[in-house]
Amino acid sequence: MPNPKRRHSKARTGRRRAHDFLTPHSLSECPNCHEKKMPHRACPKCGHYKGREVLDTEKAS
């Protein structure tokens, strides 16, 4: 079986992982309630999308 010839230093591991990260979602502003929302999706706050209320946002108590 092939095996690694040399041990990796911690620095090498760290350098490799320097580019491993998540990027935050780019958010757009809801034109109705001006909250941040995900683009191309109905606004979870006010339930509007493209100038029309499309979702029930009022929560049942």
> How far apart are the two ends of the chain, measured CA to CA in Å?
63
Strands 48-49, 36-37: pairing is unpaired
> Is 15 one of the binding residues for another protein (CB under 8 A)?
no
User: Closer to another protein at the Cβ: 20 or 56?
Assistant: 56
> Is 49 one of the binding residues for another protein (CB under 8 A)?
yes
> Is 58 one of the binding residues for another protein (CB under 8 A)?
yes
Structure-token pair, residue 43 = 């606004």
| Residue indicated by tokens 């049942």 | 60
* Interface contacts to another protein, rule CB under 8 A: 38, 40-42, 44, 49, 52, 54-56, 58, 60-61
